[in-house]
């Protein structure tokens, strides 16, 4: 009888320990997705595995509710009040190519505007990694008839030949951090001629610009931008820099073509 009682005690202790472990696991489980996306689990596993993720209202994504042109959807990403952002990744959960771009805002405000191609209705997310390694995530749902990623660009018909890589831009001052005249904030708007083919249109291989570096007049890096197939044809990018003078832009595409531009206020 005593041996049976001892066995029951051991069994009860094991069950209690199991409840404790399950409770801890539940407490540490990732937060539920506020957008209820069927693709969030894949996105989290692919891009943020092993990292802490927080859904954060300070990370704002602005996009139209409905995509009028699936080849050219405007998006603006910002994060007022979120300090020490090291990297920004923009993702479309349900696109066949999920990652749209990655920005390292060395001396830039945490945000940018751009246009991209969408294949179907999907959440658009911006994830910003701060110095502590935490990813702060915000996003919106975009409704779209789709087909943007699998449609050929106009440039694929040869309209870009002889012009690929041409860049033009504009700079203008937007003020300073605290109205002191120091740490001037300068808006850069840049356009690059490039087909940005995804490789998903029949008979047209992938051909896209994949890297831009923006430097100040002394050669110091202001921002680094990696772009991927979903970026719209002839990319237009706008971002705010801690700078008050000319900038130098260097870029290349996946075929090794290089291009540069100097932009002055």
Is 163 part of a structural domain of the chain? Answer: yes
Is 16 part of a structural domain of the chain? Answer: no
H helices present in 80-130, as ranges: none
Is 6 part of a structural domain of the chain? Answer: no
Whole-number pLDDT of residue 149 = 95
pTM of the model: 0.85
Whole-number pLDDT of residue 152 = 86
Alpha-carbon distance 70 to 263, whole Å?
30
pLDDT digits (tens, 9 = 90+) for 42-97: 999 999 999 999 999 999 999 999 999 999 999 999 999 999 999 999 999 999 99
Is 249 part of a structural domain of the chain? Answer: yes
Q: Say whether 4 sits in a helix, a strand or coil.
A: helix
Which H or E run includes 227?
strand 221-227
Residue 238 burial (10 A CB sphere; 0-12, 13-18, 19+): middle
Is 3 part of a structural domain of the chain? Answer: no
Q: What is the CATH number of the domain that holds 49?
A: 2.60.40.2470
Range of the domain at 175: 40-263
Q: What are the CA-CA distances from residue 248 to residues 108, 238, 261 (Å)?
A: 14, 15, 6
Is 4 part of a structural domain of the chain? Answer: no
pLDDT digits (tens, 9 = 90+) for 175-204: 765 544 457 999 999 999 999 999 999 999
Alpha-carbon distance 154 to 69, whole Å?
13
Token pair for 126: 């911006």
Alpha-carbon distance 189 to 50, whole Å?
35
Is 64 part of a structural domain of the chain? Answer: yes
Number of domains within the chain: 1
Q: Which residues pair with 184 in a beta bridge?
A: 176
Is 49 part of a structural domain of the chain? Answer: yes
pLDDT digits (tens, 9 = 90+) for 93-114: 999 999 999 999 999 999 999 9
């Amino acid at each position: 009888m005593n041996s049976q009682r001892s066995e029951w005690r051991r069994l009860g202790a094991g069950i209690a320990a199991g409840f404790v472990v399950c409770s801890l696991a539940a407490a540490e489980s990732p937060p539920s997705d506020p957008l209820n996306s069927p693709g969030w689990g894949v996105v989290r596993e692919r891009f943020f595995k092993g990292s802490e993720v927080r859904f954060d209202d300070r990370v704002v994504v602005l996009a139209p509710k409905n995509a009028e042109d699936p080849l050219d959807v405007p998006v603006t990403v910002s994060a007022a009040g979120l300090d020490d952002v090291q990297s920004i990744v923009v993702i479309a959960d349900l696109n066949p190519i999920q990652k749209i771009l990655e920005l390292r805002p060395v001396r830039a405000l945490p945000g940018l505007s751009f246009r991209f191609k969408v294949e179907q209705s999907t959440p658009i997310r911006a994830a910003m990694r701060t110095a502590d390694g935490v990813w702060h995530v915000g996003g919106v749902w975009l409704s779209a008839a789709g087909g943007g990623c699998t449609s050929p660009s106009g440039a694929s018909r040869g309209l870009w030949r002889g012009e690929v890589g041409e860049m033009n831009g504009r700079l203008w001052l937007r003020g300073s951090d605290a109205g002191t005249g120091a740490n001037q904030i300068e808006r850069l708007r840049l356009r690059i001629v490039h087909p940005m083919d995804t490789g998903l249109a029949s008979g047209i291989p992938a051909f896209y610009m994949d890297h831009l570096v923006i430097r100040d007049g002394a050669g110091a890096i202001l921002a680094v931008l990696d772009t991927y197939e979903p970026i719209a044809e002839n990319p237009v990018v706008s971002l705010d820099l801690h700078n008050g003078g000319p900038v130098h832009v260097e870029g290349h595409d996946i075929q090794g073509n290089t291009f540069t531009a100097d932009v002055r206020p």
